[in-house]
A and B are shown apart, each in its own frame.
Chain A
Amino acid sequence: MELTMELHVWGGAFGLPSIDPECLATIAYFTQTLSPGVFTLIPTSPSAVPTNQLPSLYIRSTNTWIPSFAAITAFIQTATSISMRTTGVVRDGPPLTPAQKADSAAYTAFLALHAAPLLALSLYVSSANWAAGTRPAYSAILPFPLAWTEPPAIRAAMTRRAEHLGMSALDTDAVAEKEERLEAAAAAAGWVTAKKTVREMLAPEQKGRIRLERLAGDVLEVLAAVDWDGVSRETRCLGLAYLALMDVTALPRPWLSDVMREKYPTCAQALKKLWAAVFPPGSKLLWVRDGPENRVLRVGARFANGLIKDVPVFGQAWHRFWAGVKRRALQSQAVGNAHKGSVGTSLAANMLFLTFATSAVLGFGSMAGYGPSLRSLGGLPAFGLPLQIWKRPLSGLAGAPYGR
């Protein structure tokens, strides 16, 4: 039986095979355990796969989808792959002691709980890094219109993930908006505004440098003490992925890689060693870039879905419904493999039809709703100007009506 596995992952950025730590870890795991010919990598986004998440593994021969790093690595290890193991397709690592297994589980949980929010702070929350580094990277990964809808949603999710660290000041977009509003109000009221102090002119990353260093130190201190040879291959791959993304220097404010290189050289060295073992120079990954998920209609459907998702209230309900449709199709596919082709095609057609029908209804509805008000638009001030302007009442003896 010829085995072909398609690994659907986020595409590469910053010179790394993938921009997402779990996807990167899965790629690292595959290059170490499987011989090069048995799997292909497909750069995509969660909206294109029926599992709604990346990484996802698709096995063509059995027509099954497996989501998440943990489930994929477990699948590679289990009985299904015994035949592959005997033929040398899968390479096992040395067995672990129970204590090493326990340590591996602990470090895996630690990476997900602490390293991921820290990484989110560096790549997503920080406005400067997002605008000049991460967002352009996503634009390069995603096919044409999707770069307008998907990256903001990713950033919102990552910001939620890093919320508890209390560094939302790095998101200068939100702060700058507020400041502009205040300045405009002050100017309208005729107040004199003070010049900015040196501290106010510093970038938020510079102002919060001490706290950022402490947050990074809390995580890197633990990672620096890990014996990477004494943990499971899964944990090693995850560690490699997180460290590699922390070490990205092609950002306007590379504070995380600075801290790592200056204060925790053990981490930087471990990363170098692990990287050389997993991706030796000259190694090549087999990418397949023109899959069916990039056809114009499919991309159009994904784009329309991304737009609808942003509609208040309705968007959420629609998104749930659509995810449910995908999920049920996946389950019925898993049951009746005989009709796999037809199920897949009709599902895509149905989704596309539903999406366009809904967007048409929504678009029409909003036009009908706004139509009458369009006529009065001429009388409105330009967008962004305040509609209500508060004027200081005249003070002084002459103008005081309540003084007597």
Chain B
Amino acid sequence: MAAPSWAQVPKPLQRLFDHFPLLTYDATTLPERSRPATDDTLPTLYTFTTPEEASLGRPSFNPSCLKWQTLLRLSKVPVRILPSTNHSSPTGALPFLLPPRSVSQTPIPASKLTDYIRTHGRPLPPAPVTPRLDAYQALIDLPIRNAWLYVVYLHSGGRADGWYIEPASRDPLIRYALRNGLREAAAAEILKGTGMLGIDLEDLDMQVLEKRGQEALESLAELLRESETGWFFGAEEPGVFDASVFAYTYLLSRHVSDRDISGTVKVAAGGALDKHQMRMLEMAWPGWDKEKL
């Protein structure tokens, strides 16, 4: 049965498509560099890092990524590290872990990583049951984090440019926009913690942020000195809290060595934090050259 006249393709269009037939190409294959990430047998941890450092498995330059990277290494869960950005993450934040393709396609956000470690690796020591844990954790999450945000993102000589802006684009305009966005986000984070109304960052004394961070580090060093085992809260093995402290002490002493706060890591409570950091490196990256890490 012939199609009704209104359903027929008009003649000129018909001739055009005869000349240039409609063709559907095959899906483009994934770029070569992403191949190992998708078809291997290792889970992949997406972090802020550079491609070179990722291939070597070196520590990330982002505190929260480094914390989980360290914990995965401590519990001997083999992972592949890949550089990434917040845009690729299902939760909007790094790190997240993608299990091997054959096992599951569901990404695991940082908040669920403890469970993953429990089922896939050497279990971590249980968290100590003391209200002081929450109080000292607050020291890391507020003053030390604020000090880190200040020295890395807001201070004019901060490292954020090299880490987050320059790899993203070569265009000066885009870099300018990214830099402003990054700074504003960091400032908003700091201001949210103060609970002040509509004040600018210039209203806050910025040097105070670093000073509060130094005081917080000294308090943590004091807590560490109480412990006889050399790990926080007298644990036999390093746990989540040790990793959270290490993530900041390691990065502060390696990457912002020109600031006062880096000196605090070295000297606080007779170098307790510095020794803790070295022993964490020894545990998590055994056999690595300390100078190169």
Contacts and interface: CB of A to CB of B under 8 A. Distances in A.
Given A52-B199, A52-B200, A323-B199, A222 B135 contact: yes
B203 A112 contact: no
A85 interface: no
B197 A154 contact: yes
Contact of A109 (B196, B208, B216): B216
A12 interface: no
B138 A102 contact: no
Interface in A114-137: 114, 116, 120
Contacts of A218: 134
A367 B249 CA distance: 58
A153 B197 contact: yes
Given A51-B203, A221-B131, A105 B139 contact: yes
A226 B142 CA distance: 19
A135 to B, nearest CB: 15
A275 interface: no
A157 B195 contact: yes
Given A52-B200, A106-B219, A157-B195, A225 B131 contact: yes
B176 interface: no
Contacts of A161: 192, 195
Interface residues of A, number: 40
Nearest to A120: B195
A114 B198 contact: no
A9 B123 CA distance: 51
> SS class of chain A's interface: helix, strand, loop or mixed?
helix
A150 to B, nearest CB: 8
Contacts of B195: 112, 116, 120, 157-158, 161
B95 interface: no
A109 B203 contact: no
Nearest to A106: B135
Contact of B139 (A106, A158, A225, A226): A106
B60 to A, nearest CB: 23
Contacts of A377: none
B63 interface: no
Contacts of B196: 46, 52-53, 157
Contacts of A250: none
B219 A222 contact: no
Contacts of B223: 99, 102, 106
Given A52-B203, A112-B142, A101 B222 contact: yes
B202 to A, nearest CB: 6
Contacts of B222: 98-99, 101-102
Contact of B226 (A51, A99, A327): A99
Contacts of B200: 52, 320, 323-324
A399 to B, nearest CB: 22
A107 interface: yes
Contacts of A225: 131-132
Given A52-B199, A221-B131, A109 B226 contact: no
A160 interface: yes
B215 interface: yes
Contacts of B192: 160-161
B288 interface: no
B79 to A, nearest CB: 28
Interface string A156-167: 011011000000
B143 interface: yes
Contacts of B215: 105
A70 interface: yes
Contacts of B143: 105, 109
The 3 closest A-B pairs by CB, nearest first: A102-B219, A102-B222, A106-B135
29 contacts: A46-B197, A52-B199, A53-B197, A70-B212, A71-B205, A99-B222, A102-B222, A103-B219, A105-B219, A106-B138, A106-B219, A109-B139, A109-B142, A109-B143, A109-B216, A110-B134, A112-B138, A116-B195, A153-B198, A154-B197, A158-B195, A160-B192, A161-B192, A221-B131, A225-B132, A309-B198, A319-B198, A320-B200, A323-B202
Given A53-B196, A102-B222, A109-B141, 11 more contacts: A52-B199, A99-B222, A102-B223, A106-B223, A154-B197, A161-B192, A222-B131, A222-B134, A225-B131, A320-B200, A323-B202
Interface of A: 46, 51-53, 67, 70-71, 98-99, 101-103, 105-107, 109-110, 112-114, 116, 120, 153-154, 157-158, 160-161, 218, 221-222, 224-226, 309, 319-320, 323-324, 327
Interface of B: 131-132, 134-136, 138-139, 141-143, 192-200, 202-203, 205, 208, 212, 215-216, 218-220, 222-223, 226, 269
